[in-house]
Copies of this chain bind each other. A is one copy, B any other.
Amino acid sequence: MATLRDVAREAGVSVATASRAINGLGNVTAPTKAAVMAAVKKLNFVPHSGARSLTRRKTDTVGVILPDLFGEFFSEIIRGIDLVAHESGMHLLLGNMHGSTHETAAAIAAMRGRVDGLLVMPPDLKPELLSDYLDPALPTVLLNYDAGSLDLPFVAVDNYRGAYAMTEALLARGARHVVHIAGPKHNRDARDRQRGFVDAMAKIGGVRNPAILPGDFSEESGLKAAGLLLQGQLPADAVFAANDQMAVGLIAGLAEAGKSVPGDVMVAGFDDIPLARHLNPSLSTMQVHIDRLGSTAMMMLLRILRGETLGSASATILTPALIARGTTAMAAQAMTAQP
C-alpha cells in the first residue's frame, strides 16, 4: 500500500506539500498540485484514515452502542442515525452489549480513540453505573433513556403519555374493563407505559386497581396472556398490550379460542411495527417514529461536536401518535375493513 511518503517521492516534493495538495489547502502552485495528483493516481494512493485521525484528533466516526440488534426496532434506529450521519460524512461504529452489563463497560472502553462521540442505549442500566462507564471527555447522547439525575443529553419516547392516550381512547370507545399486558419488570419503557395505563384508568375510568397481566414484550407472552384471560373469570372488553408483539400473540390466542376482535374484545398495542397494519383486522397502536429517535440523537451529537451548546434542547421527548385501526373499531364499523 502506497503511503504519503511514496507519493511525495514520486512527485518530487516533500510530504508536507503532498499532504497540502491532497487536502486542497492553500499555498500550493497549480503545477505542483498536478504533479502530486498524478502521483496519487499512479500509485493509487488512498489516505490512511487511522493515521490521519491520530493527528487530527478526530475520527469522523460515532460509536453506537445498543443492547441488542434483534428486530425492526434497532434496525430503524440505526437507519435513522445513518441518515443524519451520512449527510455529515460520519461513519458508524457498532458496539453491541449483548444484554450483559459487563460487556457494556468493555464496549464503551473499546471506543476510545476510535470515535468522536457516542450514542448509547442502556436498556435496564442504573444511571450511577452508566456514569461510571462513560468517559466525561467523550460527547455522549443517550438513546431512549431519560437521563434523570445525570446531566447527559438524551432523546426518549413519551411512553407515559402514549399509554395514557391509548387507554383514554379505549374508554372513549365504550370499554369498561380494560386489561393491560405489561412488559418486562425492569424495563423503563414497560414501566412508564404501565403507569400511563394505571393513571388513565383511575382518572378517566374511575378504576382503582385495573387488571394487569404479566408479559415480557415477546409474542409468546401475548399468547400466554390470552390463555390467562380466557380461562380466568376476568371481565374484559378491551386489552391494551404494552407492545405490538404481545398484541399479535394475544390476537392469535383469542382467534384460536373463537373470540372475535373487536366484536368480543378490543385490542391495542404500542410501537406500530410494520406488521400492525397487515393484521386482519389491523392493529390499533401508538405510533413511534423509531428512526427519528436515532436521527434526533445523531443531530444532537453533531451539534455538540460542532461546539454548540444544546441548552434546553438537550432533552428531547418524542410523543407517539394514536393510530386507530380495526382492532378497536366500534361495533358498527367492525365489518368494514380498514387498511
In the complex, chain B residues whose CB is within 8 Å of the CB of A278: 248, 275, 278-279
Assess the A50–B54 pair: CB atoms within 8 A.
yes
A39-70 at interface with B (beta carbon < 8 Å): 46-54, 59, 61, 69-70
Is A96 in contact with chain B by the CB < 8 A criterion? yes
**A69: which of B54, B78, B110 is its contact (CB, 8 Å)?**
B78
In the complex, chain B residues whose CB is within 8 Å of the CB of A224: none
Assess the B275–A93 pair: CB atoms within 8 A.
no
A-B contact pairs, 28 of them (CB 8 A): A1-B135, A1-B137, A46-B135, A47-B112, A48-B112, A48-B113, A49-B110, A49-B111, A50-B53, A51-B113, A61-B93, A69-B75, A69-B78, A72-B72, A78-B78, A82-B94, A82-B96, A86-B96, A91-B93, A91-B95, A92-B94, A93-B93, A93-B94, A248-B278, A252-B339, A255-B337, A274-B275, A278-B279
Assess the A50–B46 pair: CB atoms within 8 A.
no
Residues of A at under 8 Å CB distance from B? 1, 46-54, 59, 61, 69-72, 74-75, 78-79, 82, 86, 91-96, 98, 109-114, 135, 137, 248, 252, 255, 274-275, 278-280, 337, 339
**Min distance, Cβ A136 to any Cβ of chain B, angstroms:** 10
In the complex, chain B residues whose CB is within 8 Å of the CB of A275: 274-275, 278
Q: From known contacts A69-B78, A82-B69, A94-B82, infer whether A50 and B113 are also in contact, taking CB-CB under 8 Å.
A: yes
Assess the A49–B114 pair: CB atoms within 8 A.
yes
In the complex, chain B residues whose CB is within 8 Å of the CB of A109: 46
Sample of 14 further A-B pairs with CB below 8 A, known A49-B113, A50-B59: A48-B112, A49-B111, A49-B114, A50-B50, A50-B113, A69-B79, A71-B75, A74-B75, A78-B94, A82-B96, A91-B94, A91-B110, A255-B337, A274-B275
In the complex, chain B residues whose CB is within 8 Å of the CB of A137: 1
Assess the A52–B94 pair: CB atoms within 8 A.
no
With the chains together, A74 CA to B61 CA distance in Å? Answer: 21
Q: Which of A52, A71, A94, A110 has most chain B Cβ within 10 Å?
A: A94
With the chains together, A21 CA to B114 CA distance in Å? Answer: 23
In the complex, chain B residues whose CB is within 8 Å of the CB of A255: 337
In the complex, chain B residues whose CB is within 8 Å of the CB of A339: 252
**Min distance, Cβ A175 to any Cβ of chain B, angstroms:** 24
Assess the B86–A47 pair: CB atoms within 8 A.
no
Assess the A49–B112 pair: CB atoms within 8 A.
yes
Q: Which of A49, A71, A93 has most chain B Cβ within 10 Å?
A: A49
In the complex, chain B residues whose CB is within 8 Å of the CB of A71: 75
With the chains together, A47 CA to B110 CA distance in Å? Answer: 8
**Min distance, Cβ A313 to any Cβ of chain B, angstroms:** 26
* CB nearest neighbor in B for A92: B94
* CB nearest neighbor in B for A275: B275
